[in-house]
Amino acid sequence: MVEVKDYIDVKKRAEDLKCNVPDSMAILPRNFENAKTKEELIHEDATATIRVLWNNEGIVETPIEKEGESIPFVVENAFEWIGPLILFTSTLVTQNPQLIDVSLGVISNYLTDWFKGVRRSERTAKLDVVVEKRNGSYKKIHYEGSPEGLKELPKIIRSVHDEQ
């Protein structure tokens, strides 16, 4: 299942919260849209894992946390895997589009291993992606489904980026 809806201006929001402004790709806190202050920001449990996976593959992310800062994270005990909110800027989609496939492929492969020995019907991944469109506005894509289905997301991301 994929849902697309409007999202706030990420760069402006990052500036307002006094966070680093992402210039290519970044993992955003789950409440990035609504948090009143920087101190209220909360990451998903999976954020640290995704960062390690990307780092191990040489994928560079611009963390919104400034040097030495850390954001708390939620731990919710369920078998479904709740991924973080991933931002792809228009610069990245235009200049380095293969990075979208690689970064989401890494997650998909990890989840295939993670769900080994779990009932097929319970192998559910949830992931949100924020895309900066060519015109500078933002859209949020919500994915919910099998880990393998994540590999279809890059096509949707590019199409959302290019739409008028």
Partner 1 sequence: MMNNEVSSFMEELTEILNKYGKFLCYTRGIEFQKYSITKLEAFKKKSVTLKKEMTDNGHEESANIMLSLQEFLNAYIKELEMLVFLKEDKMHEAWKSLVESQYSLRSALQASDIVIGLGAENRAKRLFLIEDLLFPSQTFVSIGVTAESSECSVCGREYGKCNHVKGKPYMGELCCRVITKIKKINEFSILTKEPANKLSGIKSFLDKGHWRDLMTWRINKCIESKAVDQRIKYSEPESER
Query: What is the contact surface with partner 1 in residues (CB under 8 A)?
Result: 42, 45, 47-49, 51-53, 55-56, 70, 72-80, 110, 113-114, 116-119, 122
Residue 22: C-alpha distances to residues 26, 81, 112, 122 (Å): 6, 25, 29, 34
Q: What is the largest CA-CA distance in the chain?
A: 45
Give whichever of 5 and 119 is closer to partner 1, judged by the CB atom: 119
Rounded least distance, CB 98 to partner 1, Å: 23
Give whichever of 15 and 80 is closer to partner 1, judged by the CB atom: 80
Q: In what order do the strands lie in the sheet with 125-132?
A: 2-7, 138-145, 125-132, 81-88, 25-28
Rounded least distance, CB 51 to partner 1, Å: 6
Rounded least distance, CB 68 to partner 1, Å: 13
Secondary structure letter of residue 65 according to DSSP? S
Give whichever of 49 and 90 is closer to partner 1, judged by the CB atom: 49
Give whichever of 16 and 80 is closer to partner 1, judged by the CB atom: 80
What tokens appear for 151 in the block?
């590999």
Please name which of 98, 48, 101, 53 lies closest in space to residue 75, comparing C-alpha atoms. Answer: 48
Rounded least distance, CB 66 to partner 1, Å: 16
